[in-house]
Each structure stands twice: as C-alpha cells, then as structure tokens.
Structure 1
Amino acid sequence: MASLPEQSSPNPLLFPAYTPFSSTLNRFQKWRADLGLPNPGTVENLQKEVKATHLTNYAFDGGRADLTKSISMNPLFQVTHSFALGSQTMAPSYNFGAIYASEKVFLQGGVDHDGNVSARMNQGWTASHVSKMQAQISQQAGHNLLQLEHDYQGMDFNLNLKAANPWPTDLTGIYVGSYLQSVTKNLALGTEWVYQRPTPATSDLVATYLAKYTSSDKSWIATAQLQPAGILQATYWQKLSEKVEFAADLQLMAAPMRRDALATLGAKYDLRLATFRAQLDSTGKVSALLEQRFTPTFAFLMSGEIDHFKNAAKVGVGVMIESSALSQEELEMQMQQMQMQQQALSPPPPTS
C-alpha cells in the first residue's frame, strides 16, 4: 500500500492565540504527529490480504471467457466482453463492461443480456477525501441499488460513511459508519455500526468491534471482528516468501438459536507466469485455482472444487484474451494499475 503524503502541521490561523483551547489542541496535534502512527487502512480492506490469498472470490465453474480491448493507457480506457455458461449455480450470461481510470477518477459500468445495468464511480478530491457511488438497475424487483459513500483517511485513522438505498423523506435504507484508529505502530482498533431501517416502523442497529495487528516488518497480519450477538471472525495472513502466502479464517457463531463454526485455510503461490491458489475448509471442501499467463495478452484459468461430505464436484475452465496496440511495458503498467484500482473497489454492499 502506497504511503500517504505527509500532512502539514495545524494552521495557527485556524486556532488563534486568543482561543481558549488553541494551546491544548495544538499540543495534542503535535503529540500525535510525533508518535508517527501509520494509517491503518479502511475497515472494508481489513481482510484484504486474506481475501486475495483465498480463492473464494475467484472460484467459478463451467466455462468462462473474458475478451478485453485496451484503447488507451493514460487515461486508462478499456472495454470487456464476458461470457459464462455451463455453471451449476448460475444461468448462461453475457456482460459488456467498460472501465475509465485517471489519476483521481475511476469509472466502471456494465450491462448484461437481461438488461441489468451496474455502475460505480470513485472520485478522489484530495489525498485524504474519496467519494464513491455504486448503482444497479435490475429487472428483478428488490435488486435495485444506490449506494453513496465517503472515505476520509487521516494521519493515523480512517473514517467511512455510507448509505445504501437511502430515502430522505422517511429515512429508510441502510446506513453504515466505521472508524479505525492506530493505537500503536502495530495495533489498530475500531468499530463499525450498521443501522437498517427497511420501513419507518422497523429498525435495527448492529455494532461490530474491530482489531488489527500488523507485524513490524509487515510479514504477517492478524485481525478480529466481534459482534455482541455472539459472532466472531478472526483471520491470520503471513507472507512466507516473495512467492508464497498463507491465510487462515475462523468464523464462530454462538447465538442462542444457532451455534456454528467454519475454518478455512488457504495458500497462494506466485510464479513467474502463473498464480496458483489452494484452499481447504472444515465443511469438507477442497478447491484450487490456476491462472496461467502465456503472454501478457493471454491467460488460461482452471478452477476445481470437491465437496467430500456432499460427494459433489465442480470444474471450471476459462480464458482471458486482451487485444491491444500497447507495448509490453505499457501492458505491464496497465496490469499494475488495474490491480491497484481493484483493491480500491468496495465489497458488495450490506443487505437487509
């Protein structure tokens, strides 16, 4: 993660000498700056390394093909045709997508064969303020979405506010606020509050308490999320070498009406032209994903999963082909830029 630009000291003009609390506030700001605490990152990226190592978000079954045409490098502009068929859980589909990215703006849009439209936008105002918008128009009732979000990255903390399907007249919708603060150079603590108001007469408030510990050399990261209702999620990620990463995820539910647990172990191997992910969980599922890149413009994917308890299996095969007039160096720069943009994207919004 790129380091944030150094923030200047408080402007004395904002807190003149005759202000009663100016001296105390300026001393507090100077004391925080002298601690040198790092920015802990966003709450939505609390488990970013674990999710990148596990293949839960990458696995697929059936056939898949992604055909991409890169039109320009700076600003980045490309279009993609995506095909999927033969899946056991999803119907055959086609999706047309486009991406535009500049230094401060990221735009992504797509439309599928059923006429469902999705769009997202990231607008960076300053190095600390980023506004995000996500919208979805679906042919199915109840699947339409409008999510507004603003992220503020302070010197040693991160504040995020978002609203999903807000309605200003009766204040229905889903509202989420999160705060993550570095306590030491290795430990960050925070909280996230989700307020759901599906109707004016019903509402629900759920609080989650967060912790993140990063080693001094950033070779391993441990996180924990706790809800008072009895839900705990703990993760551990470690970079064993330049090419090998390991991640573990434990989810516990000890609610009065339900007791359940799920443990997941995964590893990722980054080779020169290939990436291999393997995963095992406590439900008896063993899965693997291979991404073999023969050239910068052609990659072959193979995904597989075996469920020992249900005696079932899934297999997926896919290709990614890119047509571009860019040079090889420009293609490599584009791939790095796309990876950075993908990390900045929000996860799926909360649902009621």
Structure 2
Amino acid sequence: MAVALEEKSTSPLSFLSDNVLAAAINDTYSSLSEKRKLLGLENPGTVDNIAREVQKDVLLSNFMFSGLRCDLQKIFSVAPLFRLQHGFAMGSQALPPWQLMALYGNSNLFLQAAYSSDKSLTAWGNLRWSPKFVTKTQTAIDPRQAQAMVQIDNEYTGDDFSASVKAISPSILEGGLTGIVIGSYLQSLTPRLAIGLEGVWQRAALNSKPETAMSYCARYRSTDWIASAQYLAQGSLGASYWKRLTDKVEAGVDCQLQFAPGMGGAGGMFGNIRREGTTTVGVKYSFATSVYRAQIDSAGKCGVVLEKRVAPPVTLTFAAEIDQWKNTHKLGLAVSLEGAPEELQEIAERADQSALPPPI
C-alpha cells in the first residue's frame, strides 16, 4: 500500500509569526480588544475635528464671505455622483472672479477639482481602501507661488480610536527629507472621555535644523453637550464647549489663548508672561428651509450668516460682519442655482411640501 504524504508548505517569513513572542503579543492584544469591547467604547473622531461641532458647524469661520457671489450647479447623476459648478464673485478679496469646479464620487472614491480665473488649480482626492482605512490627498498649484503644495493624509478609523499620518509638501530631491509630517492618535478611555496627542516634524531645507512639537488634546461627550481642549507645545491653549439647547438650536463657545514668556525680568523663567487670547460665542438656528448663524467675540467682531432656500433649486445666503474696534464692516450676498434630474427635483419638492405646516 502506497501512502501519500503531504508536505506542509511554509513561507520564508513564517518564523516572524510562528514563535513564542509573537504568540504572546497576539494573545495580549486579543485579550485587550475583548476587554475594550465590553466597555462599550465608540470611535471619538479625529484630532483635526476635536472641536468640529463648534468651529466648523456653529461658528462662521467656514461660512463668512464678502461681496457678491453666484453659484450655478448642475447634477448629472447621483450614483455615482457627478456635478459641475460655475462660481462667479465680485468685490471679494478671497474668492476669484470665476471658478469652475467638478466633483465625482462613489462609495470608495471621491475626486474634486477647481480651476480659477487666476490660473490656479486645486484638486482633492479620497480613496477608501477598506471601511476603516482611507487616503486623502490635496494638491494646489498657484502660478504666484514658487512651488506647488501637496498634502497626503492616511487615516485609520478603529472601533474606539483614530490614527492618522499626514505629510505636507514632502520631498527627497535634495538628498534628504524636507517638508512637514504630522502624526496624531485619539483614543476613547470611557464611553464619554477620549484623549489624544499630535506630533509635528518639519524641516524647511537640508541646511536648516528639523523642528518638532507635541500637542495634547481631550474630548468629553455628554448626551447634549461636548467639551474639548487642546494644548500646543508653543504655548497656546484652545478650549471649546458645544451645547444643544433645543432640537433646532445649537450654541458654542470657543476660546484660544497664547502664552508668550517675556525676555528676562525679575520673575525668572516664568515671569512677565504675555497672555493673548480671543473668546468667541456663537449660536445656530436650523429651520425647515433656512439656517441662521450668529457670533460675537472678545475682539469686538460680530457677524451673522443666513441661508434661505427660496425654492428647491434656489438658495440665498446673506453674510455680514462688523468690527467695532476697527470701525470696519463686511457684507456678502450669494445666490445658488442648482439643476438636477427630474426625479431628484420631484423628491426635493415632496420634501419641502411635507415640511410645511398643515393649513388651518
């Protein structure tokens, strides 16, 4: 009787995993993962968005503009999403007179590019390798600048943590690494509390010395309010507080402080510290067809932004800002016209009609 013996094929690198040390590390990691799951921890977000609810949603940093603006949008398809937009601006120092923007996206890929009348080009791209790992890129080419800006961000979103590595304008053409590298990690300790850190390494050129900095952050989330704080090694402290007052009203407070030690003095190393800071208070009202935002800060600025959907394809935006100390002001008015396929317009019209109160 002939007996066939099968020889188990092994990989040349199998010794890295088939050993006592690797098995112990694997068992320890599996045990910690099981204990973390029993705590009911959730993903805390990213370090970049540690105060997203206040800085990017309630306050006017991303919504304030000046002058006249008109946006013409056309949606050609939804799955995948494909949209073109023409933007015209007048009387604004931040916006170009004309801009063409194209957007394409599906569940795993997102591409967006904008070309302006000043011959500048900006492109964004997101590629989702897996449900938890995504690569984000941004490229900006401006003829007025000596070199282009390239940013590559690799972000991993775990069940109870987030980690990312970001490189800004990296280069090895000079014989060494130059640019800016940023690494961040945010971990949930309890279902409400998360802490994290962010490290920055930068080197402008090979003849200059590399610089490093470390910052620390914390975020606490309750049922209807969120508090966050971030400390930078350069001596700046940021704190924010977000509160949901009602189903349609949100409020937020953001405080930015900078501590600069004085030169010499009888107080020693920590004497004669100069403190500078700004505190901003904002509120957001969300209605059926409009959104109203207002804020005021300790520097004497107060501003408002009102977005109103007049009809399913037409949106009006009004922005105003007054600086009490400098005696200056800004005014902005924008009109957005959106064209979509007939089936999307019917869905939008039915949604607007359902939001109206019943007749008396």
**TM over 0.5, yes or no?**
yes
Q: Which moved more, 1:254-263 or 1:322-331?
A: 322-331
**Distance in 1 between residues matched to 2:316 and 2:135, nearest whole Å:** 35
**Distance in 2 between residues matched to 1:134 and 1:212, nearest whole Å:** 27
**Distance in 2 between residues matched to 1:321 and 1:81, nearest whole Å:** 10
Q: Do the aligned residues in 2 keep the contact of 1:296 with 1:328 (CA within 8 Å)?
A: no
Give the superposition deviation at 1:35: 1.6
Q: Do the aligned residues in 2 keep the contact of 1:86 with 1:92 (CA within 8 Å)?
A: no
Question: Secondary structure in 1 aligned to 2:45?
Answer: coil
Question: Secondary structure in 2 aligned to 1:199?
Answer: coil
Give the superposition deviation at 1:53: 0.7
**Distance in 2 between residues matched to 1:26 and 1:90, nearest whole Å:** 51
Give the superposition deviation at 1:237: 0.6
- Counterpart residue number, 2:186: 180
- Counterpart residue number, 2:256: 251
**Distance in 2 between residues matched to 1:17 and 1:198, nearest whole Å:** 41
Distance 1:17 1:326, change over 3 A: farther
- Counterpart residue number, 2:74: 69
In structure 2, runs of 5+ residues without a counterpart are: 1-16, 263-273, 352-360
> Residue 220 of structure 2 is aligned with which of 213, 217, 226?
213
Question: Secondary structure in 2 aligned to 1:27?
Answer: helix
- TM-score normalised according to structure 2 size: 0.84
- Counterpart residue number, 1:170: 176
2:157 counterpart of 1:146: no
Give the superposition deviation at 1:77: 0.4
Q: Which moved more, 1:135-144 or 1:43-52?
A: 135-144
Give the superposition deviation at 1:24: 3.1
Distance 1:331 1:98, change over 3 A: farther
1:9-66 superposed Cα distances (whole Å, 9 cap, x missing partner)? xxxx999999344443332221122222111111112111112111121011110111
2:125 counterpart of 1:124: no
- Counterpart residue number, 1:348: none
**Distance in 2 between residues matched to 1:113 and 1:28, nearest whole Å:** 55
Distance 1:81 1:251, change over 3 A: same
1:276-320 superposed Cα distances (whole Å, 9 cap, x missing partner)? 000100011110011110122100111001111111111111100
Distance 1:143 1:204, change over 3 A: same
- Counterpart residue number, 2:86: 81
CA RMSD of aligned residues (A): 2.2
Distance 1:166 1:37, change over 3 A: same
Question: Secondary structure in 1 aligned to 2:49?
Answer: coil
2:290 counterpart of 1:262: no
- Counterpart residue number, 1:341: none
- Counterpart residue number, 2:321: 305
Q: Do the aligned residues in 2 keep the contact of 1:291 with 1:302 (CA within 8 Å)?
A: yes
> Residue 107 of structure 2 is aligned with which of 98, 103, 107?
103
> Residue 295 of structure 1 is aligned with which of 296, 311, 317?
311
Distance 1:61 1:17, change over 3 A: closer
**Distance in 2 between residues matched to 1:18 and 1:225, nearest whole Å:** 36
2:205 counterpart of 1:199: yes
Distance 1:21 1:206, change over 3 A: closer
**Distance in 1 between residues matched to 2:319 and 2:19, nearest whole Å:** 59
Question: Secondary structure in 1 aligned to 2:23?
Answer: coil
User: Which has more radius of gyration?
Assistant: 2
Q: Do the aligned residues in 1 keep the contact of 2:195 with 2:219 (CA within 8 Å)?
A: yes
Which letter maps to 1:183? L
2:150 counterpart of 1:134: no
Distance 1:18 1:248, change over 3 A: closer
1:140-197 superposed Cα distances (whole Å, 9 cap, x missing partner)? 1246211111000111110000101101241000000000000111000000111111
- Counterpart residue number, 1:235: 240
**Distance in 1 between residues matched to 2:131 and 2:72, nearest whole Å:** 34
Question: Secondary structure in 2 aligned to 1:29?
Answer: helix
**Distance in 2 between residues matched to 1:316 and 1:108, nearest whole Å:** 25
Q: Do the aligned residues in 2 keep the contact of 1:37 with 1:184 (CA within 8 Å)?
A: yes
2:116 counterpart of 1:112: yes
**Distance in 2 between residues matched to 1:135 and 1:18, nearest whole Å:** 41
Give the superposition deviation at 1:239: 1.1
2:42 counterpart of 1:38: yes
**Distance in 2 between residues matched to 1:314 and 1:326, nearest whole Å:** 38
Distance 1:279 1:328, change over 3 A: same
Q: Which moved more, 1:165-174 or 1:249-258?
A: 249-258
Question: Secondary structure in 1 aligned to 2:29?
Answer: helix
Question: Secondary structure in 2 aligned to 1:42?
Answer: coil
- Counterpart residue number, 1:322: 338
**Distance in 1 between residues matched to 2:18 and 2:256, nearest whole Å:** 47
- Counterpart residue number, 1:272: 288
- TM-score normalised according to structure 1 size: 0.86
Q: Do the aligned residues in 1 keep the contact of 2:72 with 2:85 (CA within 8 Å)?
A: yes
**Distance in 2 between residues matched to 1:229 and 1:313, nearest whole Å:** 32
Distance 1:25 1:219, change over 3 A: same
Distance 1:83 1:15, change over 3 A: farther
Give the superposition deviation at 1:259: 2.6
